[in-house]
Amino acid sequence: MKKVLFNTASKEELKQKLANETFRRVTLSFYRYVIIENPEAFRDWLYEAFEALGVLGRTYIANEGINSQISVPEHNFDALRALVDSHSYLNNVPFKIAVEDDGKSFYKLIVRLREKVVADGLADETFDVTNVGKHLTAREFNEAMDSPETIVIDLRNHYESEIGHFQNAILPDTDTFRETLPVAIDQVKDKKDKKILLYCTGGIRCEKASAYFRHVGFSDVNQLHGGIIDYYRQIKAEGLPSKFIGKNFVFDDRLGERISDDIISKCHQCGAPSDHHTNCANDDCHLLFIQCEACAAKNEGCCSKTCIDFIHLPFEQQVKLRRGLPKHDAHSVYRKSRVRPRLNEMTLHQG
C-alpha cells in the first residue's frame, strides 16, 4: 500500500499535538533557485523525509526551485541539516533561523507543488534571471544607506512594511509581490543611474527582482543578503546599529518578530500604537489586521460587529450562512490583507 504523503488530521488535532510537545522547536527558512527535473518525485521524497523528522511548516516546490518555511524539533536540527545537505539540489543551502521563536510557528506539514516558488508575475524567458544584483552584508547595507543618493526599496507587501521597515525606504502600497515589482520600478523609473538597495524578508523575492531591475536598465542594483532575518542576526553578532525599525512580518502563526523596540503602526480599530497582527476570529472572514490588546478583548478578536455577531450564532447556522455566501461578499473576506476598505465598519465598533 502506498504511503499517504499528505496530512489527514484535523486542525484541532494538529494544534493539540503541538501543544502537548515536551521539546523545543527551531523555526527556520531556506530557499534556492535550481532547476528541479522531477518536482513531483522530489516533493514526495522531501515530504516523507520531513515527516520522519517531525518537521512542520510550508514548503513550495517548482521547476525553478524550492522555498521552505518550517520548524523542526531541536533534537532533530542536525539531522535536518544532514538531510538537506545530502541532496544535490539543497547541499549547503543557508538556513535563516527565526529571530523570535516560541516553537508554535506551524502546526501542520505542507509540501506543495507550484508553478513558481514565488508568484512574481514575470515571464522568466524574457530576461536573464541569473544576472542578479550584488549581495550585501548587513554592514555593507548600512554603509550604503548612509549615502543620501542611495535609494532603498522595500519589496514586501503593505501589511508587512506597515509594522516595520528600513529608514527612508520606498514602501509600495501593494497586496502581493506580483503587484509590488512593477509599482516599485515605476516609482524610480527616472533614477536608473542611482544606487538601488532592495530588501525583503528572507531574500528570495530580491533574487528575481534584482535581475529584473537590471534587465530594465538600472545600473547599480544591490540586495540585502539573507533579507531582514539574516540582517538581524548579523547586526547582533557584530554589534552594528539597526537601521530597520519595528517588527519583521513573517508568514506563520507568529505573524511577526521584533527587530527594534519601535512601534510604528497603529491599531486599525482605535488608532492606539500597536503592531500586533491578528486574523479575525470569524473563520469565515479571517481578515488580517492590526489589533491592540484592548480592542482584542472588547471585540473578541474580531474585525467588525458583523463578525462578532456571526461567531455567536449556533454552529449549524454559521455553516448554513457560509454556504449561501459568494466569496466576494463583504462579510466573507478571503484576501490576506486589504484592511483599509473596511476601516469605517471596523472603527464604528468601539463599544
Catalytically active residues, by annotation: 200
Cβ-contact 203, 31 below 8 angstroms = yes
Sheet holding 25-33, edge to edge: 96-97, 25-33, 65-73, 56-62, 109-113
Question: Of 166, 159, 155, 253, whose CA–CA distance to 211 is shortest?
Answer: 155
Say what angle helices 227-238 and 138-145 make with each other, to 10 degrees. 90
Q: What distance in Å separates the CA atoms of residue 70 and residue 25, rounded to the nearest whole number?
A: 10
Phi and psi at residue 6, in whole multiples of 5°? -160, 165
**Residue in the structure block whose three cell numbers are 531591475:** 213
Separation between Cα atoms, residue 163 and residue 157, nearest integer Å:
11
Give yes or no for a contact between 227 and 130, defined as CB atoms under 8 angstroms apart: no
Q: Distance (Å, rounded) from C-alpha 167 to C-alpha 347?
A: 29
